[in-house]
Amino acid sequence: MILAVTGGKGGVGKSTTSLNLARELDAVLVDADLATPDLPRGRGPDLHDVLSGRAGPLEAVEEVGSIRLLPCGRSLAGARAADLGTLERAVATVDRQFGRVVIDCPAGLARDVGYQLHSADAAVIVTTANRPALLNAFRTSHLSRKLDTPVVSTVVNKATAERDRTIASRVENEMGAPTTVVPKRSAVADSVEAGVPVRDAAPDCDALDAFETLAERIERSERQMSERAGPA
């Protein structure tokens, strides 16, 4: 299964969600934010190299702590040389080898995001409870469905009050997908800053329960999609 983690607006926690889902699902994490990557740097070939034909996708996957990561390069020249038209094939190769892939998508609704969404079997949309983020989340949902990539779950991140949970219920009703509320915790922010999933950095943090619930929902969706597809 290839899962795109997206949302439209920057700063809502897409990379946080991607990092923790990769850990919970035992998936390869692909940092597909070509211009402003937030995930840990790699030590060898990166996605820029893969998309420009300088390296194979499996060659670029490496162990970073408890996760497998296909990192993104940091140079503007590397981003410009990358051919996003080859992303779908590259990600599919990783999926065949490892079984599950989580794609951390860039912010915004530019055409580049379409490549990431089109490369995925399903999407998770991340938002916070403020109006600009919610508007972008709904727009991303429409784009995802237009590309025939079903939204299997939504995340309301950095929740701080009961009002945020009420908004999460509305998001679930509007998008027609289960919504997980992730509470705002300093331990989560610290773990992301260190490039480490919450399970490894702060296993007693209650935000871990939310990521576990999210992973379970995605696994159920994966089974349902497999059942609908029937035998290979």
Residues of the chain above pLDDT 90, percent: 64
Does residue 231 lie within any of the structural domains? Answer: no
Within a domain: residue 42? Answer: yes
> Alpha carbon of 217 to those of 12, 26, 173, 178: distances in Å?
20, 15, 16, 8
pLDDT band at residue 186, thresholds of 50, 70 and 90?
A: very high
Number of folded domains in the chain? 1
- Residue 230: inside a domain, yes or no? no
**Is 171 within a domain?**
yes
Question: Does residue 207 sit within a domain?
Answer: yes
pLDDT digits (tens, 9 = 90+) for 90-148: 999 999 999 999 999 988 765 567 889 889 999 999 999 999 999 999 999 988 888 89
Query: For residue 228, is it within any domain?
Result: no
Which single residue is written with the structure tokens 């996003």?
Answer: 84
Instruction: Judge whether 29 and 18 are in contact, CB under 8 Å.
Output: yes
Q: Give the domain CATH number at 163.
A: 3.40.50.300
pLDDT tens string 149-169: 999 999 999 999 888 889 999
How high is the pLDDT of residue 165?
85
Does residue 25 sit within a domain?
Answer: yes
Predicted pLDDT of residue 109: 64
Sheet holding 62-64, edge to edge: 62-64, 67-70, 28-31, 101-104, 2-6, 122-127, 151-159, 179-183
CB atoms within 10 A of CB 212: 15
Domain around 171:
2-223
Kindly tell me if the per-residue pLDDT of 31 is higher than 60.
yes
- Within a domain: 163: yes
